[in-house]
Structure formats: structure tokens, C-alpha cells
Amino acid sequence: MIRKKLVTFLTALSFCLYYMDINGTDIIQAKNLKEERKYIVCTKNGSELKEVEKEFGKTEEINENGGNCLQKKRMTTVELTESEAEDLADASEVSFVEEDICVKASSRFAWKDKNVHKKKVKRIKKNQSGTEWNIRMIHAGKAKKDKKKKIKIAILDSGVSYTDDIDMDPSKTISLVPGEEELSPLFMDGTGHGNSVAGLIAATDNKKGITGINPNVEIYSIRVLDDNNISPVSRVIEGIYMAIEEEVNIINMSFGMDTYSAALEKAVKDAKKAGILIVAAAGNTGGKGVEYPAAFDEVMAVGSVDQHGTAAESSAVGNEVEIVAPGELVRSSGIFCDELVSSGTSLAAPQVAAAASRIWEKDPSVSADFVRELLNQSANSYGDREKYGNGLLDLEYALESYDEFKEAYQERETDLSSAGGQTEMVLQENKRDVLSFDETGCVAGSWTFEFHEKMIPTNRVNVVKGAKYPDTNRETEGMYDNPWWHGFFHKNYVAAYIYETRLANQFTDDRGVTVPANMQWMRLAIEDAVKNINWKGQFGSTPSKGTKRAFVWGMAIHNLQDTFAHSTYEYKNGKWIPINHDKGNVDNDCDHTIRCETRYTLAVKAVKAAIRKYENSSHPSGSYAEYSSVLEAREFRMGDIYENIKKVAGSSLAAPYASVNYSTGFAASTK
């Protein structure tokens, strides 16, 4: 049916084009009609969806990790001309057709009785507390650790890299970006944006870096933003449906776009129906208005304030703004356990999501609407509604008012949908002083945002970019074809790692490269891979020598961390057996973190040791010492680690590794 209509339409179109004046504007419009773009198509039944995909060909905006969540909702993405899209939208079997536009890292609960009072300020000259200024401003304090059930928060962002600063299960982190089907949890976040969001929510109280508002939550990381912090809306929708399937309590989205999407609205409404609280950054658009998805009624749109509690100039303004939180010069977690100081509503939203989780964990049986209303009613409302919404987030006031609010809420049995978002106030108005910090202790560093969250990456970001390369580049992927990039015991992975770091240093050091003994043809394969890097393809232009060094160091670090996945053995049924690749069985997949979970913990330590070498101003190369964390292994052994180190450092230095060694019989061959 759909195909017949399109054939008729296109035949008529070609006939019209033949008779058009080629010098007129009509021919230009016709060319635009023939130019293909990516569209989201939603059909009324599954058979018509298959027909659309067969006719036009499904795009590759989402990788196989998506689990066909879009198809389950009778949606797909295809390439169409404008005329094809218009005709397809008219088909009776189609619900809607819309362009698959992009989001970028960036109605309401409004109470009739909630007055705006005059702002009262308590001035603090310098934040000398061990608690970050933003946490103090919203009175978040420390979360208790004796919670019986963890609240689940899905972070749709640029990914959250597995780190010892954020207590999360690496098996609950996934990338939906095409070509990243097997991306390591250690290198998931390519920009630092996702980790900064996750850190504000859940960074652990380990005396290092910051401490998040609720380290007790269960994080689900769904990478939808690529390394440019951009995603087509179809990928965001897929992420939302994945979060629904995981039965999360809260979704945080620190990105936005200025164009309405029916497909995105449908996904948001479905998440709301599933009982999920949806929190999103209002956007760094100033007076241009609140971005989507924050602009939808079902979403808490979060604006940002500075260290004085004043609405940030860049924070979106509009009736959709629901609540505000600190978002200017906020410190959080970064890449490889670094700290980042950055600004934007992206940083304000996760603080609201974390505060919501603290409220919700008191009684997981309450509804998302209950949590949302308590957050809004307890907020400190001292400014213009379009800038501040219901006011500044105040977690302490919300928790102190919890019992009183719950009793009144249950008695009232408010039907918010029929009340049109209007309801009577329950809590006494929050008029406490707003903390104002003359000095926060934070300066803009590492990376920052300018003009709607354009990021200025440091070379740590480029190290991560290089670390992803061996898994996403056809010439270097595959542990059997390229064992020297994937820590595979068939070759001497220690010698390979050392030589790779020396090649990296050569970009900024003219002293020459020494080659570990017996590298032979493995050396040539490593050199060819580095020589064949398409630098302009990776960076858009020829990068600096320092950036090239960072990238190749990242490739070497990938090899280092992959050793903990691809060359490990566990004890089962009376013998040591390899942890193999078995994608059909997560219980026997070396890349799945469910197998010997300490492998990832120790891999993080190895990566951090390598980063210290990379950042050393004297530019030393890597060494066998970066593998020393494996000496802590109890539940697994590493293939040929003793033989590897013996060949590059000698018997005496290799001796301690004999206790965690498993001899494969390949004798760490370098031939």
C-alpha cells in the first residue's frame, strides 16, 4: 500500500520536473525535495513497519545494543526525500513521520498559593568546608548508607566511564552510538560530560575528589551522545525505552534541542506512564526559551543559578522552568578519576535527580508525582517565575517536611491531571537565607562550556579518543587479528604496550625510539597502525603533536586494560580455564563484567598508573609496573604475565608475578 502510493507520487513529480523552467526557483525547490535526509517513521502496526524498512532501508543511527526498543514501539529510522516523507505521512498506515534531528548537551507544577518572597542572603566569604559550595547551597548534606533498596537512575548522556570514584556496576553501562558495540566500560565517556553528571549524583565518599548527593543510588549509564556531545533524537528515544525496560525510577537528560519532536514526546509520555520521574536541563539558551525534552509537561525542567543564588545569564527562561539548582563553576568527577569544573544547566539537572532519589528511598512505593511535588513545594521561591520556576532546590527542607507532606498528600489524594497542574500548597513557605559564596574554591579548568555547551577538550579527552580507536577502527579491531592492541596472550602484550607508549612519545620527543627485545614483525604491525591513522578524519583537521601523543597513548592504554579482559583465567571444576568470548552467554563472556568483577577494579588501577606516566612532564614511556595491580588478583590469573615481564625486565623483577601467572603454552611469543 505505502509503496504503491509513493510510486504514483514520484512518477507525477518527475513529470512535473520535466516541464519546469530550469532557470526558475521551482527547480531549486524540486532538488530539495529529492535530497535525502534521515526521518523517524511510526506506523500503526508491525507489518507496515517492516514494509517501510524493506522499501527504504533502515539507517544505522543506533547500534545493536539498542535491543530493538524502537521497533517494539513501531518506530524506525530511514532515509527519505522531503517528498517521500510528505507522502508517507499521508498514508493511513502511518502515525507520523518527522526528521531525525539532533539534541545537544546542554505545562508545569505551579502552585496557586506559592508566593515569591524577597530573597534573603547569608554571605560566605570563602568556602572552607570539605563540602562543595553547590552541595551546601541546596542543603544536601551526606546520604546515609543503610538504605535497604537503591533507587535506579538512568543517565542518558555521553556515557559514564567505570571508575573507582563512582560506585556503579559496569555491566549496567551501554553505548547506543554506532560502531561502539563492544566499547569498554573504562572508556565509555569520551568528553567528560557524562561522568560530571554521574559524579554530582553518586560520586563516592572516598576522601578523593567530590562526594555526590546520593552515592547509594544504582546508576544505569546509557550513552546516546557521541564524542561531539550530539545525538539524533531517535537514539535518545531508544535510550528512554531502554530505561523503561530496566524499570528505573528516574531518568536524567542533560541535553536539549529547540525543535519539537512528536516521537520524543511519545517516549517521554510512555516513561511518565511507567512511573518514572524525568529530569532534564532547561538549556543554556537564555531568553530563547526552554529546550526539549525539558519543555514537555512530563519533565522537570531545571535551570541554573550561580554562587550567589542568582539565575545564570545563560540559563533558559520560560514558563516551563520548574526548579533551579547550582550550575556555574561546579566541580565534579572527570575522565580517569580527574576533577572537572564546568558550568551550565547540564550540571544543575543531576543535582535535582539526586535529591529526588534521596526523597524516594525513604519509601520506594510513593509515586513520581509525590516526589516531584515535594521537591517543588519545598523549594525556596525568591525570584521571577520564568527564571526560577518554583525556586531553589532545598533537599534538607524537603526531607524535614517529608512526613507532614506525605500525610497531607495522602489525605488530599490530588488528581494532578484533572487539576491541570494546579494544586493547593501543603507546606509552609521556605523562606530561609540563600547561601552566597564570594569564593567557591573553583576556577574554570580542565574543560568548560561556552556558547550553549561547546566543549574545549583537554588532551585527557584525546587519550580517551585514542583508547576507543582499537575497537572502532577496522584495521586495529579484533583480539586475534591485532593482539598487540587488545592485550591478548598470543603475543607479548607487555612489550607491545611499552613500545606503543614510546611511539606516542616520539611525537613530542626527538630522542628516538628504542625497541623492546624480540619485537620482530609485531613491531612493524604496530608501526603501520600508527602511520595509518587518519588524523584529519579523527579530528576534522591536522591535530597538534601533543594531541597525537595523547591519542596513541590512549591506544596503548586500551591494550593495557584489555589484558584484564582477554588474557585472564578463572578457577572452575578443579582447573584454570580461559574467560572466553561468548557473546551469546554473558556468564562466559570475557568482556562482560559479571565474570570476575575484580578484573575491572584492578584494570582501573592499571589505567590510572598509565595516566600518571602519560602526564609526567619528563615524558617517560610505559613499563611493566603498570601491570602491578594484577598482584592483588585472587579470583583470576593472567595469561603469561610472568613470561611477558621476564622478557622485558628480567627474571628478578618478574618473580612476584609468578603467583598470578597462568602459562598458556605460547610463552608470550613475539614472533
Q: What are phi and psi of 655, to 5 degrees?
A: -50, -45
Helix, strand and coil content of the chain, in percent to the nearest 5, comes to: 40, 15, 40
Question: Would residue 433 show up in a list of annotated catalytic residues for this protein?
Answer: no
**617, exposed or middle or buried, with CB in 10 Å at 0-12, 13-18, 19+?**
exposed
What is the residue type of 413? Answer: E
Which phi and psi (to 5°) does residue 126 adopt?
-150, 135
Class of residue 632 by CB neighbours under 10 A (exposed 0-12, middle 13-18, buried 19+): exposed
Selected catalytic residue, list 346, 381, 401, 623: 346
CA angle 433, 435, 437 (to 5 degrees): 150
Establish whether 157 is a catalytic residue. Answer: yes
Coil vs helix vs strand at 249? coil
Active-site residue identified among 87, 100, 157, 471: 157
CA-to-CA separations, 219 to 44, 102, 117, in angstroms, rounded: 34, 25, 37
Distance (Å, rounded) from C-alpha 600 to C-alpha 384? 48
Contacts 24+ apart (CB under 8 A), 269-276: 269/296, 269/298, 270/73, 270/240, 270/241, 270/244, 271/240, 271/243, 271/244, 271/298, 272/298, 272/368, 274/244, 274/247, 275/249, 275/367, 275/368, 276/243, 276/244, 276/248, 276/249, 276/250, 276/251, 276/368
Question: Residue 284 is which amino acid?
Answer: N
Q: Which residues pair with 311 in a beta bridge?
A: 305
Per DSSP, which regions of 226-312 are E strands? 230-232, 250-253, 255-256, 277-281, 299-305
For the chain, give the number of residues.
671
Count the Cβ atoms, other than its own, within 10 Å of residue 215: 21
State the amino acid at position 210 in one-letter form: I
Please pick, among 161, 184, 193, 304, the residue that the annotation labels catalytic.
193
And the C-alpha cell for 497?
604496550
Q: Which residues are catalytic?
A: 157, 193, 346
